[in-house]
Amino acid sequence: MDNEDCNSNNTLTPDSVLCLVCQGILIKPIKLPCNHHVCLECLQRICDNSNLSCPMCRKRLSIWLRRNKDFSLLIDENLWNQIQKYYKKEVDQKLFDQDDGVWENLILNPTTHRQMYTPGELKAEYTKYIEKLEAERKQKELEEQEKSLQLIRQLEKEEEEKRKAEEAQRLLLEKQDEEYAKSLLEMETLSPPHDTPKTRSQAKASSAKRTETRSKRKSTNSADASRSKNQFGPIDVFCIRSNSPSMFSPQQPSTSGHNQQVMN
CATH H-level superfamily of 3-116: Zinc/RING finger domain, C3HC4 (zinc finger) (3.30.40.10)
Q: Name the burial class of residue 76, with classes exposed (0-12), middle (13-18) and buried (19+) by CB atoms within 10 angstroms of its CB.
A: middle
Q: Going by DSSP bridges, is the β-strand pair 37-38/30-31 parallel, antiparallel, or unpaired?
A: antiparallel
- Give dist(CA 94, CA 84) in Å, integer: 12
| SS3 state of residue 53 | strand
Per-residue pLDDT at 56: 78
Per-residue pLDDT at 43: 84
Per domain, the residue ranges of the chain are 3-116
Average pLDDT per 10 consecutive residues for the chain, totaling 264 residues: 46 76 84 86 81 79 80 85 84 73 58 55 84 92 92 93 93 91 85 54 63 67 56 47 48 47 44
